[in-house]
Structure 1
Amino acid sequence: MSEISVKLKEVLFRFHSAVKSSKILHGPIPKMIAASKTKPVEDIIEAYKCGQRDFGENYIKELLEKAFNQTILNDCKEIKWHFIGHLQKNKVNKLISVPNLYMIQTIHSQALASQVNNALSKLSTKMSGDNKLKILIQVNTSGEQEKNGLDPDKVSPLVKFIMAECLNLQFKGLMTIGMLDASQHGHTIDNPNPDFLTLIKCREDVSRECGLKIEDMELSMGMSQDFEHAIEMGATYVRIGTIIFGERNYSLMVNES
């Protein structure tokens, strides 16, 4: 067995154990995104062979190179790409050209939502029903100025805007990248991560203010350090990279400029 297959098996065991023990199951069944930033195509293919289907990328140029790789196109036909990095408006057209783009998890403004929606309108394939591009709204739950995302009290107006004006987008829920210190603190259900609590509260507010069912909204929160606690708190997506693929080598990262 390869090193990645061994690590993935170990992570999946922990993942499924956390799902079974979770007492908070308000939303969809949790899913794991393999965060493959800076990792080579060979690692993605190996994880795919082991059954992993959802992969997350942070950078447009890197995602394009991987998604258009001929081996991935030929042998990984069920792959689902999640964009989980900061999306600049001048990169929108490139992003929506990605084959098997499943979800953008980092929508954070009306302007960005409109640009993605308008770009999709220009495609020859009409977006409707399940063909709409799934999106999550990124929420700044920690209040850190350097973090992207909306303040929690500004999320519901954006949801209403997307539902009314962005007919090519399907709002699916909320995402956060919490404070690093909090993710490393070893939180438990009795001492929960405050970023997770804020995202949960935000989902409740959106449900009430936008007339949506809580169980229909995803929560993307938790990474390698704290994914089990995130599942315990009700996460429906966790983004796991390092403990599957090993430490990232940023010297190999594709230049985004």
Structure 2
Amino acid sequence: IGQTRLTMGINEYNFDWRLAAGDSFQTPEVAMVYSTTGLNGMSQAYHDLLRDRVARSRYKREPRPILINNWEATYFDFDANKIQSISDAAAPLGIEMFVLDDGWFGHRNDDNSSLGDWFVNRNKLPEGLADISKRTHDKGMRFGLWFEPENISADSELYRAHPDWVLGVPDRSRTLSRNEYVLDFSQSDVVDNIFEQMTAVLDKVPIDYIKWDMNRNLTEVYSPHSDSAHEGETSHRFILGVYDLMERLTKRYPQILFEGCSGGGGRFDAGLMYYMPQSWPS
């Protein structure tokens, strides 16, 4: 009674960071609020703090567009005309944005392939994403697109070219989740490759919104490109790599509204809100 106990700071699980002479390490910030009106007041204070002091997007206080997403209407089975039929039905109802979900890239017809291959599936969309974007905008609607940048399928061109770009312990089995592995975002070459693939799409196609998904947790958090003395840095360097990619994309495309989906909001943190002013908490 009469005591207050606070626990804060970096998660120490599997964390070890070696500092050589003259090196520095920046710890995560602690965001704290105080409420005299209980948990509801505390929740509202955090809302205001994150919206006003953390989120920097132009969209942080704008009303969100009413959108329709093709995922549960089509799953992976769609073409340009099927997408057009959804837009045709949605536009007269006042729907303001159409979002093209999973399945537009590589040769992805189910969830067994193509994550990591962020180029258009021409068998489904022979005229490309620019055609879908134009059709959507011609309806007076905005156009959004789905990505899952941090994960990779074994059946992908990227994996076949760089099997060492996946988190995992050498000579040990790796855990598949939703038929995908996790890219080693602790390595700058990996982040650079995904950035280049994404910008190749975003530079050419008018896109208003990105749904950024992350459908699994991290397992076997070990980098094949690290040594034993620095392996404890991998998980922290991974999220720094994620932030680096988000930083570059949001600076390059300030007109895009980014949403963090991440398996139903399961990986939300305040750092993500710095880049993405909304999360999908399904």
TM-score bracket relative to the smaller structure: 0.3 to 0.5
Select the structure of larger CA radius of gyration.
2
Write 1 or 2 for the structure with the bigger share of strand: 1
Highest RCO, 1 vs 2 (Cα 8 Å, sep ≥ 6): 1
Q: TM-score, normalised by structure 1?
A: 0.43
Write 1 or 2 for the structure with the bigger share of helix: 1
